[in-house]
Structure 1
Amino acid sequence: MNRADMQKDPEEVAGMFDATAKRYDLLNSLLSGGNDKLWRIHMQRAVKPKPGERILDVAAGTGASAAPMAKAGALVTALDISPGMLEEGRRRHPDIEFVHGSAEELPFEEGSFDAVTISFGLRNVQHPRAALDEFFRVLKPGGRLLICEFSQPPVGVVRRGYELYLQTVLPGLARAASSNPDAYRYLVESIRSWPDQQTLSQWIRTAGFTRVAHRNLTMGVVALHRGRKPTETTGAMRIARHAAAEEQGD
């Protein structure tokens, strides 16, 4: 799979990540200039995992984001669609529960988790708004959602420089360092086609979340989004959700 416009077929996405599983984290550090570690630190601080909390880490990959939360004492479930990623994650972090599944059809009961997190995975989901609905469903009332994802730098000069990096530097590094450079061509195109911060924030609100906010990291190359599931989902709130969804369209 090497085109972001191939409807992000789940089997093809899984196969793409299967092929890069063993070197995935190393290549991410290389291609991000080491910033991936800083982004994950910001994510960890925003989640504020507490001992005994149940946290679902979606698109968990090899467990790079799940591991710090587990170390803090949270009961982390790491979910991914790629069997190769799950196998590598279990090898690296045998103390974490890894589960095969789709973000659009989470295999968990309603109100199961205190927090849901997803780092650099939402744009790979075929129907991201369906995934947001699922995140809302499996959260407990008052539960929190944290999304760390590539975004659109708001400053023109930064945006142009970033676009140049995506077009020239990143593909060259991928060809030199990866056995599957097509996967990183897909990475570039998926980033370029992903909506801006305001659009994702609106999607999160439409899914029913309140206290929605975002924080730009690395001048907006990445954005950290958050939201809360209301403590009581009243009938009026459900009606408002459906009305907002109809207004926004698919």
Structure 2
Amino acid sequence: MGLAGYWPEVLNVLREIIPVYDRVNSYISLGRDTVHRRRGITGRISPGDKVLDAGSGFGNMSGTALDICGDLDVTMCDPLLPMLKKTNQDTPRALSCGVFEHMPFRTGGFDAVLCGYSLRDAISLKTAISELHRVLKDGGRLVIVDLGKPDCIVYRAGVSIYLRLVLPIIALIAGGRLGLKFATLYGTFQRWPRNKKLEEMLLEKFSRVEFEKDLKGGAIMVAAYK
């Protein structure tokens, strides 16, 4: 599972939508993106932790963690340098360019890894999970906040209809013509495993998984413990 050959198209879209990225994401998540980040992070990151923000984009996940915990040693990693260059420099964070499948970090280097609306864009989800597990210390935590793919067929159909038909309209209103490019979200959703399957994939590598849901399973906050 993962984007495989669809990944270059998604990467190009992400590069193009940088000017409207945060604004549109806030609208299409119905204003819940910040709430979900805080819910996923709270109680799972501690002051002093060495944290990797994987698929960091502008650093919204690590920024939320810093707001909650204060003192953190943060490294941001993203395949797009233009995203990293837009990082808020008020709080120093180390920047690295890379992809989930080949993390440029030593084994066992981080107390926690954060993936905010990013793991869904992995080229190979199985390889990405293995790499995220590798760079964590024993006892480390992987925190995932993302779209969910409900196990219930009715709720799954509802999320699918929203992403395919409603989201483009909202994105157009929020981001103009660039907002229309957010339609690729539907393609990533199609390639994303159902919630139960994602939990099973994580349990193949991690000892314990906490799987929380919102919006009838259309949003997930996950913590996997090494």
Decide: shared fold, TM above 0.5: yes
**AA at the equivalent of 1:216:** K
- Which of 113, 128, 131 is the aligned partner of 2:128? 131
Give 1:44 deviation, angstroms.
2.0
**AA at the equivalent of 1:8:** Y
Question: Could you tell me which residue of structure 2 aligns to residue 162 of structure 1?
Answer: 159
Q: How high is the sequence identity, in percent, across the aligned residues?
A: 28
Question: Could you tell me which residue of structure 1 aligns to residue 221 of structure 2?
Answer: 224
Measured on the aligned residues, the alpha-carbon RMSD in Å equals 2.1
Give 1:93 deviation, angstroms.
4.7
Q: Secondary structure at the match of 2:42?
A: helix
Q: Secondary structure at the match of 1:18?
A: helix
The range that moved more, 142-151 or 93-102, is 93-102
Following superposition of structure 1 onto structure 2, how do residues 30-41 of structure 1 map, counting pairs within 5 Å? Answer: 30-41=27-38
Whole-angstrom distance in 2 between the partners of 1:123 and 1:222:
12
Structure 1 runs not aligned, ≥5 long: 230-250
Q: Deviations over 1:36-77 (max 9, x none)?
A: 111111122153x22221011111111111112234211111
Which of structure 1's runs of 4+ aligned residues deviate more than 4 A?
91-94, 154-157
Question: Could you tell me which residue of structure 1 aligns to residue 65 of structure 2?
Answer: 69
Q: Secondary structure at the match of 1:104?
A: helix
Give 1:17 deviation, angstroms.
1.4
**AA at the equivalent of 1:42:** R
Mapped contact 1:55–1:116 kept (Cα < 8 A): yes
Give 1:219 deviation, angstroms.
1.9
- Shift in CA distance, 6/145, structure 1 to aligned 2, threshold 3 Å: closer
Mapped contact 2:147–2:218 kept (Cα < 8 A): yes
Select the structure with the greater relative contact order (CA < 8 A; seq sep ≥ 6): 2
Mapped contact 1:57–1:118 kept (Cα < 8 A): yes
Whole-angstrom distance in 2 between the partners of 1:158 and 1:228:
28
Following superposition of structure 1 onto structure 2, how do residues 19-30 of structure 1 map, counting pairs within 5 Å? Answer: 19-30=16-27
The range that moved more, 63-72 or 160-169, is 160-169
TM-score when scaled to structure 2?
Answer: 0.89
TM-score when scaled to structure 1?
Answer: 0.81
Question: Could you tell me which residue of structure 1 aligns to residue 193 of structure 2?
Answer: 195
**AA at the equivalent of 1:165:** Y
Mapped contact 1:67–1:96 kept (Cα < 8 A): no
